[in-house]
């Protein structure tokens, strides 16, 4: 199932067993910084940029630390809704996405920052009409944002015979833009268009102009609205770009020859694979094709990596991921059908392409009685346009298993749309597999990698947030997702500990059953794994500040093999509510802080007219456990303004403070804030409007 384009706003309830007499505990608040927008979200090597981070609870941010020491940040100012920093990018920083860690007094957040060799510039408004399109000289990266009902236009010159590459980076940086790219000629005719690029919402368009002249590219959101979270970086120019790689896997200890397709590939001088930069030898190259040999060392662990290319002056990474495998690899045969399936050994991996609509690829293999095989298709997860579906048949043609995705996708989980199944074969014999796109589509971009191997039970630990806040004198919860592979069917112990005395070791157990969640329509969803809540109690005397935390898991599979793993943390977008891939910062940190007596959610703006009254509504939660009301102080209240009901009752809820502007109140814009038991709200922009004119 391809990811839907909407996000439901609903109450989410975890399915928990009913426990008689269990007292519901008050949910602890989020008090750490939350990032909702970053501008610009990247820059050129060797440059200095002023970066503005918008969100909430940013007033106590004291530092921004990048994973790469070649990037330094100095904070200019910080307030509740905004942090401004000067970021210096060293010339030796690798191209691509770099982590940064925003550190606050009561928590931290990890974000992503894009580094490129290309010159960068911020968009200049107004550019929301073709007639006001901002003129740009290629190649360039433009930093932009789609706010309100905004549309951005950029005008550029092009020559016939060129292949110009336009690519958006937004969702990979935590942005909320579902981008659409459209190119118009000088007469305003639409001549090129792209919405999504495979699983990602970031658009990519390769354009070949037929005539010399000025063209315009439009950037907009797929839906007619915008806000500061819809920031993006648009790269434009005659840039080398990879659209396909074949095969889709390299075998450790062997030399693999790859054929790489794309645009402007004759500019490429160097090709490498993965984080360890396995270097390739270019055998042939043309504008649309590279042939490369890459040697992967024998000790290389299984995993994946991207093909990276360099022109000498420009370093780029493809969107497509390549597997590094320990099992034999094959290419799909040219003639394969249900009547004549391609025979493959076990274990083996196969790289294939669904070349046309309504097509499917068929494979045949031998299985022994009682054998358990893991069968996986990777497509969307490696940059393909294909949403794969997998079918398993016995020798008589009976369908044994159909799978579209391993677990139906719930929108707060990282996308996982590729099939993965473990099947125990009751009888020895020949079995068939069919692979196709779930919507019966096909084409050059519908590539996939199929693997069939003996099931090896294993598991993975994930944190969907790379940082957490723990409160002194309280129990705080860190949730760890346990994902099982290869038919793992025994419990797994998960624990958290720290080298100091900040808290004692805590543990929990993941039973071999996926967690469930109920949405606002009472529909039960199965999550992709088991969530384990680690309830950490921090002593009241613990010292506030950052504490590195080690989270590990261990278990023994059904065969008696002992396995242990350390948690991997994901980028997390607080605005989107989704994880976005493994963070570059390998360490997981917690912040120990004091639980505030109250937490206030106050409006950013409020207005009242002279001679009138309005109610200032604030959502407040109390954590002081007091049973009496306490007064609410209003700081910097302008002269001529009176307040009623300025007190906070026990518990949580909505308070309404009646503010009245006397006839003598001076119209203007002021700033006020609330103070309760020493806790201050963010500043509220308070506007006094002139009294309305009396009707004659």
> Is the pLDDT score of 45 beyond 70?
yes
pLDDT digits (tens, 9 = 90+) for 570-581: 765 444 444 456
pLDDT digits (tens, 9 = 90+) for 316-368: 988 788 899 999 999 998 767 888 999 999 999 999 999 999 999 999 999 99
pTM of the model: 0.89
Residue 22 included in any domain:
no
* C-alpha–C-alpha distance, residues 409 and 526, integer Å: 8
pLDDT digits (tens, 9 = 90+) for 13-43: 333 333 322 234 567 888 999 999 999 999 9
Lowest mean pLDDT among 42-51, 59-68, 314-323, 400-409: 400-409
Residue 52 included in any domain:
yes
586 and 464 both lie in a single domain: yes
Query: Can you tell me the mean pLDDT for 520-524?
Result: 80
Q: Which of 405, 437, 455 is the last residue of a domain?
A: 455
Query: Can you tell me the mean pLDDT for 61-81?
Result: 95
Neighbour count for residue 678 (Cβ, 10 Å)? 8
Lowest mean pLDDT among 181-195, 410-424, 615-629, 668-682: 410-424
Residue 365 included in any domain:
yes
CATH number of the CATH domain containing 572: 2.60.40.10
Residue 506 included in any domain:
yes
Query: Can you tell me the mean pLDDT for 61-84?
Result: 95
pLDDT value at position 184? 97
Q: Which of 325, 348, 363 is the last residue of a domain?
A: 325
pLDDT value at position 645? 82
| 3-state secondary structure (DSSP) of residue 442 | coil
Q: Which of 325, 347, 374 is the last residue of a domain?
A: 325
Residue 349 included in any domain:
yes
317 and 213 both lie in a single domain: no
- Render 47-61 in DSSP notation, one character per residue: -EEEEEEEEES-TT-
- 348: closest CA among 362, 372, 328? 328
Residue 339 included in any domain:
yes
> Is residue 559 within 8 Å of residue 456, measured between CB atoms?
no
293 and 352 both lie in a single domain: no
- Residue 415 binned pLDDT confidence (cut-offs 50, 70, 90): low
pLDDT digits (tens, 9 = 90+) for 298-309: 877 888 888 999
> Is the pLDDT score of 481 beyond 80?
yes
pLDDT value at position 114? 95
- Residue 196 binned pLDDT confidence (cut-offs 50, 70, 90): confident
Pairing of strands 545-556, 530-537: unpaired
465 and 386 both lie in a single domain: no
Query: Can you tell me the mean pLDDT for 423-451?
Result: 95
- Residue 408 binned pLDDT confidence (cut-offs 50, 70, 90): low
> Is the pLDDT score of 1 beyond 60?
no
CA distances, 220 to each of 166, 179, 190, 227, 230 (Å):
14, 6, 14, 12, 10
348-353 β-sheet, strand order: 329-331, 348-353, 447-454, 372-378, 420-424
Q: What angle do CA 143, 144, 148 make, to 5 degrees?
A: 165
* C-alpha–C-alpha distance, residues 379 and 480, integer Å: 26
361 and 465 both lie in a single domain: no
- Residue 249 binned pLDDT confidence (cut-offs 50, 70, 90): very high
Residue 1 included in any domain:
no
251 and 320 both lie in a single domain: yes
Q: How many helices (H) and strands (E) does the chain have?
A: 0, 61
- Render 615-640 in DSSP notation, one character per residue: EEEEEEEE-S--SS-EE-EEETPPTT
Residue 5 included in any domain:
no
Neighbour count for residue 631 (Cβ, 10 Å)? 10
Structural domain range at position 335: 329-455
Residue 542 CA from chain centroid, whole number: 33
pLDDT value at position 123? 96
pLDDT digits (tens, 9 = 90+) for 438-453: 999 999 889 999 999 9
> Is residue 177 within 8 Å of residue 241, measured between CB atoms?
no
> Is residue 195 within 8 Å of residue 128, measured between CB atoms?
no
> Is the pLDDT score of 129 beyond 60?
yes
512 and 572 both lie in a single domain: yes
pLDDT value at position 320? 80
Query: Can you tell me the mean pLDDT for 384-402?
Result: 95
CATH number of the CATH domain containing 447: 2.60.120.380
509 and 426 both lie in a single domain: no
Q: Give the dihedral of Cα atoms 271, 273, 278, 279; nearest 10 deg.
A: -10
604 and 620 both lie in a single domain: yes
73 and 174 both lie in a single domain: no
85 and 97 both lie in a single domain: yes
Q: Please provide the average confidence, as pLDDT, over all residues in the chain.
A: 89
> Is the pLDDT score of 100 beyond 60?
yes
pLDDT digits (tens, 9 = 90+) for 607-666: 999 999 999 999 988 888 778 888 999 999 999 999 988 888 887 688 899 999 998 899
| 3-state secondary structure (DSSP) of residue 240 | coil
Lowest mean pLDDT among 57-61, 349-353, 409-413: 409-413
375 and 412 both lie in a single domain: yes
- Specify the number of domains making up the chain: 6
């Amino acid at each position: 199932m391809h990811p839907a384009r909407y996000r439901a706003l609903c109450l989410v309830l975890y399915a928990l067993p009913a426990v008689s007499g269990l007292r519901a505990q008050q949910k602890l608040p989020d008090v750490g910084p939350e990032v909702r927008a970053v501008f610009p979200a990247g820059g050129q090597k060797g440059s200095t940029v002023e970066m503005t981070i918008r969100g909430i609870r940013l007033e106590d941010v004291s530092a921004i630390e990048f994973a790469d020491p070649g990037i330094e940040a100095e904070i200019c100012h910080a307030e509740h809704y905004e942090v401004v920093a000067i970021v210096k990018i060293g010339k030796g920083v690798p191209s691509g996405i770099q982590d940064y860690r925003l550190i606050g007094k009561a928590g931290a957040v990890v974000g992503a920052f894009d580094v490129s060799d290309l010159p960068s510039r911020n968009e200049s408004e107004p550019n929301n009409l073709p007639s006001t399109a901002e003129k740009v000289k290629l190649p360039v990266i433009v930093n932009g944002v789609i706010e309100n009902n905004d549309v951005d236009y950029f005008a550029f010159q092009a020559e016939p015979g060129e292949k110009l590459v336009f690519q958006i980076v937004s969702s990979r940086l935590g942005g909320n833009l579902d981008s659409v790219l459209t190119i118009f000629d000088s007469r305003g005719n639409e001549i090129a268009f792209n919405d999504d690029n495979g699983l990602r919402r970031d658009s990519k368009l390769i354009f070949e102009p037929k005539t010399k002249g000025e063209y315009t590219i439009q950037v907009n959101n797929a839906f007619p609205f915008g806000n500061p979270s819809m920031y993006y970086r648009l790269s434009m120019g005659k840039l080398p770009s990879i659209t396909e790689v074949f095969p889709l896997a390299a075998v450790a200890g062997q030399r693999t020859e790859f054929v790489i397709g794309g645009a402007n590939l004759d500019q490429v001088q160097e090709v490498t694979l993965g984080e360890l930069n396995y270097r390739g030898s270019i055998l042939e190259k043309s504008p649309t094709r590279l042939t490369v040999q890459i040697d992967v060392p024998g000790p290389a662990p299984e995993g994946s990596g991207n093909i990276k290319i360099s022109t000498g002056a420009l370093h780029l990474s493809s969107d497509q991921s390549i597997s590094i495998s320990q099992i034999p690899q094959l290419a799909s045969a040219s003639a394969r059908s249900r009547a004549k399936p391609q025979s493959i050994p076990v274990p083996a991996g196969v790289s294939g392409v669904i070349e046309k609509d309504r097509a499917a690829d068929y494979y045949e293999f031998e299985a022994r009685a009682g054998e358990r095989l893991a069968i996986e298709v990777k497509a969307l997860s490696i940059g393909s346009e294909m949403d794969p579906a997998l079918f398993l048949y016995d020798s008589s043609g009976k369908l044994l298993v159909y799978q579209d995705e391993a677990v139906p996708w719930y929108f707060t989980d990282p996308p996982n749309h590729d099939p993965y199944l473990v099947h125990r074969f009751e009888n020895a014999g020949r079995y068939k597999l069919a692979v196709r796109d779930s919507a019966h589509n096909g084409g050059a971009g519908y590539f996939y990698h199929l693997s069939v191997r003996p099931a090896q039970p294993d598991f993975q630990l994930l944190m969907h947030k790379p940082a957490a806040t723990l409160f002194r004198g309280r129990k705080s919860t860190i949730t760890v997702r346990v994902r099982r592979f290869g038919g793992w069917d025994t419990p797994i112990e998960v624990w958290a500990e720290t080298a100091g005395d900040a808290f004692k070791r805590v543990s929990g157990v993941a039973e071999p059953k996926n967690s469930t969640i109920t949405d606002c329509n009472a529909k039960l969803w199965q999550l992709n794994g088991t969530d384990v809540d680690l309830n950490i109690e921090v002593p009241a005397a613990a010292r506030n500040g950052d504490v590195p935390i080690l989270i590990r898991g261990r278990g023994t599979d059904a065969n008696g093999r002992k396995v242990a793993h350390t948690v991997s943390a994901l980028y997390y977008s607080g605005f989107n509510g989704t994880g976005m891939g493994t963070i570059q910062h390998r360490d997981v940190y917690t912040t120990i802080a004091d639980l505030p007596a109250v937490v206030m959610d106050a409006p950013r703006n409020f207005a009242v007219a002279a001679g009138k009254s309005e109610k200032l509504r604030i959502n407040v939660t109390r954590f002081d456990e007091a049973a009496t009301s306490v007064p609410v102080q209003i700081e910097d209240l302008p002269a001529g303004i009176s307040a009623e009901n300025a007190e906070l009752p026990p518990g949580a809820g909505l308070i309404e403070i009646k503010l009245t502007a006397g006839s003598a109140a001076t119209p203007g814009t002021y700033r006020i804030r609330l103070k309760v038991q020493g806790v201050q709200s963010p500043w509220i922009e308070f506007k006094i409007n002139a009294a309305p004119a009396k009707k004659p």
